Structures are given as C-alpha cells and as structure tokens.
C-alpha cells in the first residue's frame, strides 16, 4: 500500500480526493473490494465500514436488488434526459418527505443548496441568508466555514482549514451574503430578524446538526424557527442531506413535525453508489422554476442511472413499513451500547448522540447541547479514537460519526465487540 500511496500522491494533491478526507491519516487506505458492511484494503485487511462514504451508502455494498437495477438501466438506456423511472422516483420522494410538493434533481449537495438559496432570494426579493455555526452545507464560497467570535478556546487553523473554511474564496462572499449565528438559540434569531429581517431571504439549517457533532435541536427550537420565518417572510430551508433517508423515511421534518418551505436532499437518496441530490419544496415557490423566473440547470440532472438508483433505494427502504431501517437501527443501537460499556470499562469518558443511523461519539462526559460545546479538546480525543478504531478494523466517518447501512448484521456487531476494546484502551493511554 505504501508504494501505491507514493504513486498516487505525485498526481493527486495530498493523495486524497477531498480535503475532508481525514488529514491526519498520512497514508490513506485504498480499497480493493467490498461486501455488505465490510471492505478490504489492498493488503487484504478487512474492516467494518461505518464510514459508508460520508453517510451516502445506505443500501450496503453489493446489494443485489440495487446493483441489478443499475445494471439493467446501463444496458437499456445509458444517457437520455428523461426516463421512464422518473415518475416512480418522484412519487416516492413526494410520498415520504412532507415538504416535497415538487422536486428537482441535481447531482451534489453543494449545488442543490445553492439552488435553494437562489429560489429563496427570488421568492422573497431579499438578499442574505442566516446560517449556523457548526453546520455544513457544501463546498461553496458563500457558505463554508466561519465561527461566531467568542472568548477562549482557539481553534488551530490547520483543523479542516479553520473549521471547514478556506483561503481563496471571493472577497466578502461570506460576509456579504450571510449572517452566522450560534445554533439552538431562538432569541438570537428573533433579535436578528427584528433588526435585519428586511434583508433576510432564508434561514438554512441542518434540522439535527450532524456536522456539528450530532447536536439535537432544543425542544421547540425548530417550531419557533418556523414561526419566526412565517412572521418575517423568510424561507425556511432544512438541509436534510444527511438526515434524509437516515432519520426515517420522512427525515427530521417528519420526526419533529416541522415542515420547511424547501428541503435539500442528497447522499442516501440514491443508495450510495451514484450521486443524486434533490431540491424539494412548496409548489408556490417551486413555481418560479416552472415560470422560468429562476434558472436551475445541470447537464446530468435526472440521469437514468441516478433516477433508477433513487427509485430502487426508496423501494428497498420503504418495503414492509421500513423494516430494513428499523433492523439497521436496532443493530446500530447494540453497537452504541457496546461502545459505551467498553469505554466505561477502560475509564474513557464517552457519549453518543444523534439519531441512531447518523450518530456521533464524543470523548467527554456530557452530551453536547449546542455546536459551540464541541471544543477542540473533545475533537482531538475523538480523532485519536477514530484512528485507533481504524487500526483495529473499524472505519468511522468524519472524525466520530457512525454510519450503518441496512446490511448490518450480528456478525458485524460481534466484529465491533471483539475489536473496540483495544482501540479504546490505546486512546485512554493518550488521554491519561
């Protein structure tokens, strides 16, 4: 694998395809094959895959039904703009996502978020949007990174490049387009609306802040957000690119019974094998696309392989009342329990938070109540545990996230049980 990394590194900046590949891994693992929840690297080492391609892989590696659907599509109709399975894919999304009165497909989460913001600006005639600390909405200049200034707790600038910020963005692209607020504080949002509501087109939020550490919304927070957006004529956008089709079929909006005006979907919507994103929302706002007042474009939007993947994924996930997801969550809860029990046994503080299918562990004593609680000290320990898990045959995502897929079975749970103790012990030694 060393030679292989050397070959790749000369051509691929950093030897990785994206900067959010864990920068502390000096030698990225290259994989040869995968099946269900297991992957094998080029040295033949086997891992339990709770990384799941940043959460996109929900159907599992080598899912027969999914693969057959994609193969059948490739052989039948590789590249046309509109295809026969569009209707089923659209109907399934509309059936399960409460805010999905109309739907447009894209490819990446990044682009579909930008389209949601554009629609919100056009609908309200206003310019800026509100975003929240710790939330991630894609690889674009106007939305990535930043932190609300507060005293203490300096964040090292090499950590994800200033918390997922970046050099080289267009001047003032963040400052001129958005307001950045701490999350889970409805009073601050109201204050901002009172002072600046005239210039605010949208609020964009992850309804559960998975990217900020798996922080759940405070009771009533999303409802209050909904009320404030209605009062100040602001479009409410839920970014459910992670929670959609992981936190149940209806996403976080169904779980919390708060319907946004627009929702962005991605990752698991197409099972994990091919890229598809979707912008869904209220008919009256989406009508701007029908009237061609707002442009939404993309060479590959609605490509056959993508819509086939969406259709088949949602068929698999919705079958028998979502049985596959229920079973996945049950197994995942077992893994959570093992992780907590084993951490306690070695004396390492550890909490697990967030929905079962996209939860995070943190090496600390208390559940994070807001994204600001996710201190650099906690992140550092989380990273150490992450690395120790991967050395012991368990891959997790984005520092500390545990993403199962529906193939997760008891043999995977046992694999986890047999290996996690060593990873925790090695982490505890550094903690001490």
List of residues contacting ligand PMP (CB under 6 A): 54, 108-110, 113, 136-139, 206, 211, 239, 241-242, 266
Catalytic residue among 96, 136, 232, 374: 136
Measured from the CB of residue 418, what is the shortest distance to ligand PMP in angstroms? 30
Residue (106 or 356) nearer to ligand PMP, CB: 106
Is there a catalytic annotation at residue 267?
yes
Catalytic residue among 239, 261, 382, 412: 239
Measured from the CB of residue 368, what is the shortest distance to ligand PMP in angstroms? 17
Task: In whole angstroms, give the CA distance from residue 306 to residue 298.
Answer: 13
172 phi-psi bin (left φ>0, alpha ψ -120 to 50, beta other): left
Backbone angles phi, psi at 278, to 5 degrees: -145, 140
Residue (309 or 348) nearer to ligand PMP, CB: 309
Q: Report the candidate in 104, 62, 84, 60 with the shortest Cα–Cα distance to residue 308.
A: 84
Cβ-contact 278, 300 below 8 angstroms = no
Residue (28 or 106) nearer to ligand PMP, CB: 106
153 phi-psi bin (left φ>0, alpha ψ -120 to 50, beta other): left
Residue 121: CA atoms inside 13 Å, Cβ hemisphere, count?
14
Backbone angles phi, psi at 423, to 5 degrees: -60, -40
Is there a catalytic annotation at residue 136?
yes
Measured from the CB of residue 241, what is the shortest distance to ligand PMP in angstroms? 4
Residue (8 or 140) nearer to ligand PMP, CB: 140
Measured from the CB of residue 132, what is the shortest distance to ligand PMP in angstroms? 11
CB closest to ligand PMP, residue no: 109
Residue (121 or 267) nearer to ligand PMP, CB: 267
**DSSP letter assigned to residue 255:** H
Please give the structure tokens belonging to residue 78. Answer: 């590789």
Measured from the CB of residue 422, what is the shortest distance to ligand PMP in angstroms? 30
**DSSP letter assigned to residue 99:** T
Task: In whole angstroms, give the CA distance from residue 82 to residue 394.
Answer: 41
Catalytic residue among 126, 267, 282, 331: 267
Q: How many helices (H) and strands (E) does the chain have?
A: 13, 14
Measured from the CB of residue 154, what is the shortest distance to ligand PMP in angstroms? 25
Cβ-contact 265, 252 below 8 angstroms = no
Residue (138 or 306) nearer to ligand PMP, CB: 138
Instruction: State the catalytic residues.
Output: 136, 239, 267
């Amino acid at each position: 694998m060393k030679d292989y990394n050397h070959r790749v590194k000369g051509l691929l900046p950093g030897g990785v395809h994206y900067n959010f590949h864990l920068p502390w891994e000096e030698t990225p693992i290259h994989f040869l094959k995968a099946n269900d929840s297991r992957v094998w690297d080029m040295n033949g080492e086997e891992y339990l895959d709770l990384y799941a391609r940043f959460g996109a892989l929900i159907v599992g590696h080598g899912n027969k039904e999914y693969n057959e659907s994609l193969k059948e599509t490739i052989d039948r109709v590789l590249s046309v703009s509109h295809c026969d399975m569009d209707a089923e894919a659209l109907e399934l999304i509309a059936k399960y996502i409460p805010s999905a009165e109309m739907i447009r497909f894209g490819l990446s989460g990044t682009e579909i978020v930008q389209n949601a913001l554009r629609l919100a600006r056009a609908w309200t005639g206003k310019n800026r949007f509100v975003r929240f600390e710790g939330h991630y909405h894609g690889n674009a200049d106007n939305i990535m990174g930043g932190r609300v200034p507060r005293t203490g707790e300096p964040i090292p600038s090499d950590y994800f490049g200033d918390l997922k910020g970046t050099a080289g963005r267009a001047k003032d692209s963040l400052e001129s387009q958005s307001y950045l607020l701490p999350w889970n504080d409805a009073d601050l949002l109201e204050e901002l609306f009172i002072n600046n509501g005239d210039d605010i087109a949208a609020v964009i939020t992850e309804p559960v802040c998975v990217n900020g550490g798996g922080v759940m919304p405070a009771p009533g927070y999303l409802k209050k957000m909904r009320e404030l957006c209605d009062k100040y004529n602001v479009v409410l956008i839920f970014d459910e690119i992670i929670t959609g089709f992981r936190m149940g079929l209806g996403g976080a909006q169904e779980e919390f019974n708060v319907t946004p005006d627009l929702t962005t979907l991605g990752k698991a919507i197409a099972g994990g094998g091919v890229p598809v994103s979707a912008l869904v929302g209220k008919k009256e706002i989406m009508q701007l696309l029908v009237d061609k007042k707002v442009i939404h474009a993309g060479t590959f939007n609605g490509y056959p392989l993508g819509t086939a993947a969406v259709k088949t994924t949602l068929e698999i996930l919705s079958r028998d009342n979502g049985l596959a997801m229920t079973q996945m969550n049950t197994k995942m809860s077992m893994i959570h329990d093992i992780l907590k029990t084993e951490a306690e046994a070695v004396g390492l503080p550890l909490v697990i938070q967030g929905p079962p299918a996209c939860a995070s562990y943190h090496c600390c004593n208390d559940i994070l109540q807001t994204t600001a609680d996710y201190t650099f000290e906690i992140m550092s320990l989380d990273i150490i545990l992450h690395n120790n898990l991967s050395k012991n045959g368990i891959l997790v995502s984005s520092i500390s996230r545990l993403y199962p897929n529906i193939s997760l079975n008891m043999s995977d749970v046992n694999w986890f049980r047999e290996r996690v103790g060593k990873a925790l012990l090695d982490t505890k030694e550094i903690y001490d």
